Structure 1
Amino acid sequence: MKKTFYALALAACGLGSLPSAFAQNRLAPGKLVLPRRECATMDVLTAQLKEDPGLAQRLEAIESHTRSFQRMRTSGKPTPGTTTTVTIPVVVHVVYNTTDQNISDAQVQSQIDVLNEDFNKLNKDVSKVPSLFSGVAANTGVKFVLAQRDPNGKTTNGIVRTQTKVSSWSTNDAVKSAKRGGDDAWDATKYLNIWACNLGQNLLGYAQFPGGKASTDGVVILYSAFGSRVKNPDGTYTSTYDLGRTTTHEVGHWLNLRHIWGDASCGNDYVDDTPTQQTANYGCPSFPHVTCSNQGDMSMNYMDYTDDACMYMFSTGQSARMNALFAAGGARASLLTSPGVTAPLTGSLIAKSQVTLYPNPATDVLNVALPESSLAGWSVKVFDARGYEMKQAQFSEGQLQINQLPRGLYQLTLTKGNQAVNQRFQKD
């Protein structure tokens, strides 16, 4: 392995240059408020590296791809395969031992709503970002929806409930295994798996970075830190961490973000526009809190350790780091074409054979015909063989303009409500 991997394994909290799982503190029995967030990932990282000798090499390849993407972004060069918006289907595995742990659909949905606000700069508290950082507060372009189609092609609401005899879980990923009392992950190339459960060992949540095993890929969150008390007051919550920001933080790790302080004194989070800071911030610190000769820590960043109410931004550099995963060759690019975002067809809906594309092959214009008098309400998208959306193909009034597409095979996807149809065509 390269020296960077060993440096990471020896670093406090295991961050150096190698991603790993991240863990945070949970409410101790009998207390009403969590004392603070804490990192407890060294054991997890060490176990992952020992179990999987190829992990270090895969992680370095992801970092190399990320650096290349960042350089192209900085230089203004086009980044192949990127899209303006990424929609990720989510499956929430609610693994419960008691009634309180079996959180409601409404609490689950409140968490999805928080993710969409936080990752798209739609959260109301973004107005609190200090002027020093307001220019880099970012809309990442990543959206989340509860899955509408399961891995077997059946309709789902994106929530799987599993009753268990296990009273609490640790970072050993047992909650991700049905054989161990938890629930198995759905295909990690097509879904973001989130487990909401009762975590022990003072844990609030942890995540796996891209590059790890598919069977354990995803995010684990303490059930009472999952969702938002503001959006769903009737839920079960832990004070101080009741606005859904623990999941925002952990999904940030799942999308390859490091802790903002780099898990070392004045460490490196591999993002240029987040100021170097000495260590984690807790609670709700006043700004500016100056460390490492900066103008003030970006303590309100989702990747710090402040309370839910005091974190409310990602930076432009962090957005680029996440977006690199969905560019051509990115570690999570397969999510771009996941069928999980659309409900399956039912018997009363149109069949694939009823969609007509002509002429096929085509050169400039492809006509699209359905067994309806009008295509009103239908959304039409085109994807290349790698699964990347070709936005230069414009659709209007039954005709798809393909003159700007390179020669090759493409997939045309039509969606309307819960109807979805895919057809292939060739551009000459």
Structure 2
Amino acid sequence: MKSKFYALALSLGLSSSAFAQESRLAFDNSKATPGRQCATMDVLKAQMAADPSLAKRMAAVEDQTKKFESTSTSNRSVVGAVVIPVVVHVVYNITTQNVTDAQVAAQIDVLNKDFAKTNSDVTLVPDAFKPLAANTNIQFVLAQQDPTGAPTSGIIHKQTKIASFSSNDAVKNSKKGGSDPWPASSYLNVWVCNLSGGLLGYAQFPGGRASTDGVVVLFSSLPGVASGPYSKGRTATHEVGHWLNLRHIWGDASCGTDLVTDTPTQQTSNYGCPSFPHVTCGNNGDMSMNYMDYTDDACMYMFSTGQAARMNALFGAGGSRASLLNSSGARTTRQLAVATAGGVASLAEIRLYPNPATQTLNVSVPEKQAATWSVKVYDLSGYEMKQARYDGQGRVAVASLPQGLYQVVMSDGQQTIRQRFQKE
């Protein structure tokens, strides 16, 4: 059992002032050691002070999380992969900060691999933790439809007069030189910008205001933008973890709790690339390779099963981010308005099953039209998976695909339909 010392204001019976007093130890300690700097807990502390009702909303999130975690896996309400539409706001002052669309796509790819446990470095997880390394069931796709229903790339480039931003959320406000968010109920907003003071990023936990909901990361933390210990895209993985209700693994207190049962209690944050085992707090070794620690990008490569359950709770019955499951942001306008006249199959008639699939994915096009459709499978980076072959009779062989989320592109020459499926 983890220590109850770090209980947050969201735990019943604790005030925001008590939260601030307990967590201050970790803030002071983390700033004393050079390395990764995440301002998420500083932001939470400020939000708690400014909005006394936030503690109550976060306590409700925790109550729903506990109920979800106590439900058997087979009876949980989240079925199949959770696909989250993402809008990336690139807010730049000078040209070097204006990351390219290809670099944004590379960041989405890192997120998808990290959250699906398909990252190549997952093989480096110590044997003691290998059974706990988890596919979180969560994937990300750049939005294909904006809030007005118009097609979009899911990427906004906006030049600003502001040289650098802090953790005060100005980057999320166009009047303050930033970019206004898209509706938090339908999109994950990610702001990419220049951050001051050595800050790598920060996020807002579930329960906060919709107008500031999302994730902020330093532009040079995206893969392919720069070099260094924090340049492989894991800053976004860490911050999205916070956005999905994960705490720092050390609980922001000496031998604190991150509210997850299968992550070892550890004394404080780790930096660099510590060797395993680094024993603290009577554990058998810190899980320093967890994405929610402070290690270098090249030395973090897993979420735990308990963390995955905690994140998925947000999309279960009554979950605070469940509205994203019904977002139209991941669908194109053409998909939403496929013609039904003249014998052309409608989107409602096109179904992929089973989903998730292991051996064969069935495509439910009308039987008489099956041979007239071309069906191709792509990964989320747009690379065609040629080993997934369509037999012209409504079946796609997917056994040779690695585990993960894919997109099926179906066309009959008159229309093109895209749908996603998960390979297990």
Matched, 1:203 2:189: no
Which residue does the alignment assign to 2:318? 329
Q: Superposition pairs for residues 11-410 of structure 1, below 5 Å?
A: 11-13=22-24, 35-41=34-40, 43-73=42-72, 78-79=75-76, 81-226=77-222, 228-229=223-224, 236-345=225-334, 349-350=338-339, 373-374=369-370, 376=373
Q: In the TM superposition, what whole-angstrom CA distance separates every residue of 1:6-32 from its partner, at most 9, and x where no partner exists? A: 33222225999xxxxxxx98xxxxxxx
Partner secondary structure for residue 306 of structure 1: coil
Could you tell me how far 1:192 is from its partner in structure 2?
A: 0.5
Could you tell me how far 1:141 is from its partner in structure 2?
A: 1.0
What is the rounded CA distance, in whole Å, between the counterparts of 2:252 and 2:284 in structure 1?
Answer: 20
What is the rounded CA distance, in whole Å, between the counterparts of 1:416 and 1:330 in structure 2?
Answer: 33
What is the rounded CA distance, in whole Å, between the counterparts of 1:199 and 1:219 in structure 2?
Answer: 13
What is the rounded CA distance, in whole Å, between the counterparts of 2:337 and 2:321 in structure 1?
Answer: 34
Which residue does the alignment assign to 2:385? none
What is the rounded CA distance, in whole Å, between the counterparts of 2:43 and 2:113 in structure 1?
Answer: 30
In the alignment, structure 1 segments of 5+ residues that lack a partner are 17-23, 26-33, 230-235, 359-367, 380-395, 398-413, 422-428
TM-score by length of 2: 0.77
What is the rounded CA distance, in whole Å, between the counterparts of 1:77 and 1:348 in structure 2?
Answer: 35
Q: Normalized per residue, which structure has more helix?
A: 2
Tell me if structure 2 keeps the 8 A contact 1:14–1:45.
no
Identity of aligned residues (%): 56
Partner secondary structure for residue 106 of structure 1: helix
Q: In the TM superposition, what whole-angstrom CA distance separates every residue of 1:124-155 from its partner, at most 9, and x where no partner exists? A: 10000000000010000111111111111011
Matched, 1:3 2:13: yes
Which residue does the alignment assign to 1:392? none
Which residue does the alignment assign to 2:360? none
Q: In the TM superposition, what whole-angstrom CA distance separates every residue of 1:151-170 from its partner, at most 9, and x where no partner exists? A: 11011111001110000001
What is the rounded CA distance, in whole Å, between the counterparts of 1:14 and 1:189 in structure 2?
Answer: 34
Tell me if structure 1 keeps the 8 A contact 2:373–2:410.
no
What is the rounded CA distance, in whole Å, between the counterparts of 2:127 and 2:141 in structure 1?
Answer: 32
TM-score by length of 1: 0.76
Tell me if structure 1 keeps the 8 A contact 2:335–2:417.
no
Could you tell me how far 1:40 is from its partner in structure 2?
A: 4.0
Amino acid at match of 1:286: S
Partner secondary structure for residue 161 of structure 1: strand
Could you tell me how far 1:185 is from its partner in structure 2?
A: 0.4
Tell me if structure 1 keeps the 8 A contact 2:207–2:320.
yes
Amino acid at match of 1:4: L
Could you tell me how far 1:38 is from its partner in structure 2?
A: 3.1
Could you tell me how far 1:5 is from its partner in structure 2?
A: 3.9
What is the rounded CA distance, in whole Å, between the counterparts of 1:306 and 1:118 in structure 2?
Answer: 15
State which drifts further: 347-356 or 125-134: 347-356
Could you tell me how far 1:52 is from its partner in structure 2?
A: 2.4
What is the rounded CA distance, in whole Å, between the counterparts of 1:14 and 1:146 in structure 2?
Answer: 38
Tell me if structure 2 keeps the 8 A contact 1:14–1:42.
no
Residues 43 and 269 (structure 1), Cα distance of their counterparts in 2 relative to 1, 3 Å cut: closer
Tell me if structure 2 keeps the 8 A contact 1:185–1:216.
yes
In the alignment, structure 2 segments of 5+ residues that lack a partner are 1-8, 350-363, 377-392, 395-407, 419-424
Q: In the TM superposition, what whole-angstrom CA distance separates every residue of 1:385-406 from its partner, at most 9, and x where no partner exists? A: xxxxxxxxxxx98xxxxxxxxx
What is the rounded CA distance, in whole Å, between the counterparts of 2:182 and 2:143 in structure 1?
Answer: 11
* Aligned length in residues: 356
What is the rounded CA distance, in whole Å, between the counterparts of 2:326 and 2:39 in structure 1?
Answer: 34
Tell me if structure 2 keeps the 8 A contact 1:94–1:197.
yes
Amino acid at match of 2:65: T
Could you tell me how far 1:44 is from its partner in structure 2?
A: 2.4
Could you tell me how far 1:179 is from its partner in structure 2?
A: 1.0
Residues 314 and 344 (structure 1), Cα distance of their counterparts in 2 relative to 1, 3 Å cut: same
